[in-house]
A = this chain, B = another copy of it.
Amino acid sequence: MRILFLGDIVGRSGRDAVEARLPELRRQLRVDLAVINAENASHGFGLAPAMADSLFAAGCDVLTLGNHAWDRKELIGHIGGAPRIVRPLNFPPGTPGQGSVMITLADGRKAMVANVMGRLFMDALDDPFRATQELLSRQRLGTTVQAIVVDFHAEATSEKAAFAHYVDGRVSLVVGTHTHTPTSDHRILVGGTAFQADAGMCGDYDSVIGMGKEGAMARFVRKMPGERLQPADGEATVCGLFVETDDRTGLARTVAPLRLGGALSQTMPDLAAV
């Protein structure tokens, strides 16, 4: 299965870039499943239902969230009827929405996408390791499901790496989100799971993780309240990664980063190698 994952969309600049590039990316990479983290899509904070619809229309299959899941409160009432928008699995019982979704491709293959939140330097939630363990105990990769993608939304690289090794061999891909900075540690772990500590954001990198530089700097230097942070509006870099899995095992054959447009160095998966 050919999987495209894009990191946190930040504001209009990020949305525009993703919607402009996604159709062509799907064709070019013959993508079977496109998953995008959209927790910052709406002006940097949350995901308005209309923007989710627009991203689905552009070719996204599943949208994931994170600590900003409910910044746009409209989503709370909307998510129950929108199973392809996935909120963190380890939110408390009773939280609206689901922490994972099973997608059936047109050719009948099945893929599960989960969104899980780390705890180190983050809000207190239930154990992401055990929550994932319970989810995975109901699946058999390569049998009941051809691919499993986990968006592990977390701050600390230690927790991200520990989590990836914990599920190594039982999921197709663990990809981190939340730091809004792509890492170059993409690799296939010893058990066959593809891993990258952070996908990076789809947003303007001439910024502080997607938000305007002046306001963000002032928060660190002056320790005074200022204007509300605004998303930077320069050209976004679309950041993410591409994974091809073996349907018989669900494990990864290749993993390659992708960075298109904007301020970062450009890279596309080598189609010949895939």
Instruction: Look across to chain B and name the residue whose beta carbon is closest to the beta carbon of A209.
Output: B158
Expressed in whole angstroms, the Cα–Cα distance for A159 and B129 within the complex equals 24
**B220 to A159, Cβ gap below 8 A?**
yes
The one of B125, B197, B208, B257 that contacts A165, using a Cβ cutoff of 8 Å: B208
- Whether A156 sits at the interface, judged by CB under 8 Å, is yes
- Whether A207 sits at the interface, judged by CB under 8 Å, is yes
Chain B residues whose C-beta falls within 8 Å of the C-beta of A40 in the assembled complex:
none
- Whether A225 sits at the interface, judged by CB under 8 Å, is yes
Q: Which of A76-120 contact B (CB under 8 A)?
A: 76, 91-95, 119-120
- Whether A12 sits at the interface, judged by CB under 8 Å, is no
Shortest CB–CB separation between residue A175 and chain B, in angstroms? 13
**B183 to A181, Cβ gap below 8 A?**
yes
**B220 to A184, Cβ gap below 8 A?**
no
Expressed in whole angstroms, the Cα–Cα distance for A14 and B107 within the complex equals 47
| Identical copies in the complex | 4
**B221 to A92, Cβ gap below 8 A?**
yes
**B162 to A217, Cβ gap below 8 A?**
yes
**B126 to A127, Cβ gap below 8 A?**
yes
Stretch at the interface among A31-39, A47-55, A56-64, A185-193: A185-193
**A217 to B166, Cβ gap below 8 A?**
yes
Q: Which of A215-254 contact B (CB under 8 A)?
A: 216-217, 219-225
Stretch at the interface among A17-25, A135-143, A258-266: A258-266
Expressed in whole angstroms, the Cα–Cα distance for A124 and B198 within the complex equals 22
- Whether A30 sits at the interface, judged by CB under 8 Å, is no
**A185 to B200, Cβ gap below 8 A?**
yes
Shortest CB–CB separation between residue A189 and chain B, in angstroms? 8
Which residues of A come within 8 Å of B, CB atoms? 70-71, 73, 76, 91-95, 119-121, 123-127, 129-130, 155-159, 161-163, 165-166, 179-187, 189-190, 197-198, 200, 205-209, 213, 216-217, 219-225, 257, 259, 263-265, 267
Write 9 A-B pairs (CB below 8 A) sorted by A numbering.
A92-B223, A125-B223, A129-B220, A157-B180, A159-B220, A162-B208, A181-B198, A184-B200, A184-B259
